[in-house]
Amino acid sequence: MKGRCPEEAAKVSAGEGRGALEESPDSSKQVSEDVWFETEKVWLVQKDQFALATELKPDVGTLELPPGTVRVRLDADGSIVEVDEEEVQKANPPSLDYTEDLAALVSLNEASVLHVLRQRCQSQLPYTFSGPHLVALRQVPSTASSSRKAFQGRRDRMSPHIFAVAQRAYWGMLAQRQDQTIMALGRSNTGKTTACQNILEYLVATAGSVDNRVTVEKIQAVFTVLRAFGTVSAGPNRTSTRFSMVLALDFTASGHVTAAHLQTMLLERARVAQQPEGEGTFNIFSQMLAGLGLDQRSTLHLHQMAENNCFGIRASLKGEEKREASAAFAQLQAALGTLGVEAAEQEALWRVLAGIYHLGAAGVCKVGRKQFLKFEWANRAADVLGCEAEELSTAVFKHHLQRILQQVTAGARSEEPLDGMASFSSPGPKLSGVECLEGMAAGLYEELFAAVVMLVNRSFSSSQLSTASLMVVDTPGFLSPRHQKRERAATFEEFCHNYGQERLQGLFYKASLESEVGRYQEENVEVPFDLPELSPATTVALVDQNPSQMPHSSGGPSEDPQGLLWILDEEALMQGSSDSRALDRLCSAFGKEGKAGGEKQGALRRCEQPLQFEVAHRLGMDPVRYDATGWVSKAKWNLSVQNAIQLLQQSKIGALRKVFLPRAQVPLLCRSVAGWEGHSQQALKRTGCLRKTFSGSFATIRRRSVCAQIKLQLDALSNLVKRSQIHFLHCLDPGTPEAPRLPTEASEAAPGPAWDVPALRAQLSGSLILEALRLHRIGYADRMELTQFRRRFQGLAQLEMKKFTSAYELPDEKKVRRGSPGEAMEGGASPGGHCSFSRCDREGHPSPLWGS
């Protein structure tokens, strides 16, 4: 009897036998859960926290509570309070505190989800399944290579992890022969880029490469290069991404990697010349200025630093910063060597960076004629770029003269404008000297970044036959100065990145909610679920709604107003336009008093500060205040940007010209996207999808529009991933502490350095995670296409299947849906063309449920 509880000892002495003793743990667990539900445990949700409590029922003879009010007793101190029933949410039994899938919760609500995430985070478990997707908390521990073995080769019953998402996408690609996409969503500084890198390294390490064209070392080298050229220091995040990318791995039918292909878009090129307060330019500048050798400094005229640089580019002054920057530059050079970039090609990259630095040191005269302020530094810029000083000055400032020279040179060879540029009769908007200089720097850096992407793709290129691809999408996270405890308003570039996040969040809304509900309605399957009233489409319409593409009423204007991009596009072409006029037009259309807002609060609110407005991002849960100063100027088509292209391609330095000439055939409108090269079958499909987006009628009409380029880049990204099956990774920020805290007994329940409940509630509500989970729970989580069903199960009835066509012949499922139910059932599908399965029963066998 030793070591047993009294109840178990009594059972054994009474002769109830071993079977009863073995059943006692399960029965005691069931009893404890029954007691839990009988006590009516609830969560009392407050603004900054949520506490466990017990709901008290009114006793006989006591006064009844007012309608909508409940009485609860807090478990922490035993105090009894009366609160509104909206502040109370049902709690789950303790056995679900560490559940691996939020869909398993008995009571699915905000407080229960936050409690599970907090418990798992405290136990160093940052990943949690959210139905078919994954939730990841920031401050993820390092993913050691040894953990890859726990997921390699497995198809199901995997613990929550980014490797499990990669494994699921990998097997889905092989089974369905369909492209897969893993897309990370969330705020900035939540570890999205690191997660994408770990996923790619895992796939390459576990699947293997056909001819070692793609290796883990090369993947690591790519991210080292991209972090140098595409990230900035912004608050606590010293490597904040400022571009969007799609890195695709091409696979053979046997599951081996044949090639990789990188495509980038939405590069924040204006960051080179303008940075928000407290933030820096791209990290490559400080790394290069700290890590170049003496000979290279002399060649690039960097042996002497300028006292002032109008672009804000400076060398690292502190000893520790300089050592870190120098070490990072050495790692960058090693990474470029791993990717096969030769020394001459690396020198060409440093020349462009040095040219941008010298242009910032040269400055521009703000009064009088447009010219450089310091000609000595302008001459140095011309020397490192391989052109004459007068040629550089003409390309930067004298657009009118350059158009005349181009027309004389072209003669009658072509009636079309050169390189997609407008003819001399349309010189474009008038620009100031500062705008011309900043445009040249932005154009040079955009071409430099595209050349880096081209060199990366050259290293990964292969002619091996591939059947499908797995794409990983990484974009700048949702940006708000308020998240970093800063008082400034957000910029136009941050507005564009947030617009991109809204577009990608719209893909999640459509894939997880709208398409699911539409499929159930199409197949006449009754599911008690209504789509949320709010969707990302409201904020997206505020940005890019274009009435010219909508039918107009006869003789009257369109009922739908123009979005901000098209308002800026029109104002940029008008003489005497201003930022206040553009903001007035936007607020009159989408503000609280506007047509689109009606009597309810709209997606936009004008602030008391001059030229500032607030956009209700993420379904109104995360509003951001913007400063519209200078936005009309940023929407102007800057001729200096396109002159930078010709300046590099016509350089007198052969190595420099060789690096940038391959992009000479890329149309001007498409130059904002990098990665058009690629010779594999899958790469050609992806570039073909992008070309189709940029060759539409809308792109042709607005080929000289900065705002149109922004929308087209996001259209191209959306069209690219919509061709595939998307796996979403929701990255959440648990909070940013003001100062590190020492662990104490009182703070034991708070995992990590911070746990910001209001921020997490805003992220959960704004990302629609709970709504997608509810639909996942009440709907049919697993379904199978007719072709996949036959391919997988036809071996169970080989004689019967011989009567029908081959399983590998793709049928038209719409015809199956129009056919009789009997014919569809004989073919192995539901009348809706799909076979859906409910969750497994207690024995682990799925029970088929056919849509009616």
Question: What would the DSSP string read from start to end of 87-107?
Answer: GEEEPPPGGGTT-SBGGG-SS
CB 324 within 8 A of CB 331: no
Structure token pair of residue 433: 């000297």
844 is in an annotated binding site: no
| Residue found under tokens 């029963």 | 841
Other CB atoms within 10 A of residue 15 CB: 7
Task: Name which of 388, 255, 273, 136 is nearest 641 in CA terms.
Answer: 273
13 is in an annotated binding site: no
User: If you ran DSSP here, which 8-state letter would residue 209 be given?
Assistant: B
Residue-wise burial string across 564-573, b where 16 or more C-beta atoms lie within 10 A, e elsewhere:
bbbbbbbbbe
Task: Name which of 622, 620, 626 is nearest 606 in CA terms.
Answer: 626
| Residue found under tokens 């009474």 | 14
131 is in an annotated binding site: no
Question: What would the DSSP string read from start to end of 270-287?
Answer: GGGT---TTEEEEHHHHH
User: If you ran DSSP here, which 8-state letter would residue 471 be given?
Assistant: E
How many angstroms separate the CA atoms of 773 and 771, rounded? Answer: 5
231 is in an annotated binding site: no
Residue 668's identity, in one-letter code, is L
Report CA torsion sign: 427, 429, 432, 436.
Answer: negative
Report CA torsion sign: 572, 575, 578, 582.
Answer: negative
Backbone angles phi, psi at 714, to 5 degrees: -75, -30
CB 241 within 8 A of CB 476: yes
Backbone angles phi, psi at 128, to 5 degrees: -145, 135
Residue 790 to residues 581, 780, 833, Cα–Cα distance (Å): 61, 19, 12
Phi-psi region of 3 (alpha: psi -120 to 50; beta: other; left: phi over 0): left
188 is in an annotated binding site: yes
Structure token pair of residue 251: 């696979």
643 is in an annotated binding site: no
Backbone angles phi, psi at 186, to 5 degrees: 145, -175
Task: Name which of 379, 427, 433 is nearest 407 in CA terms.
Answer: 427
| Residue found under tokens 């520790």 | 320
241 is in an annotated binding site: no
Residue 268 to residues 75, 100, 239, 496, Cα–Cα distance (Å): 51, 38, 14, 9
Angle 492-509/706-722 helices, nearest 10 degrees? 30
Residue 135 to residues 165, 677, 730, 734, Cα–Cα distance (Å): 11, 34, 5, 12
Looking at the DSSP bridge assignments, the partners of residue 503 are none
687 is in an annotated binding site: no
Output the known binding site: 186-193
Known binding-site residues for ATP equal 186-193
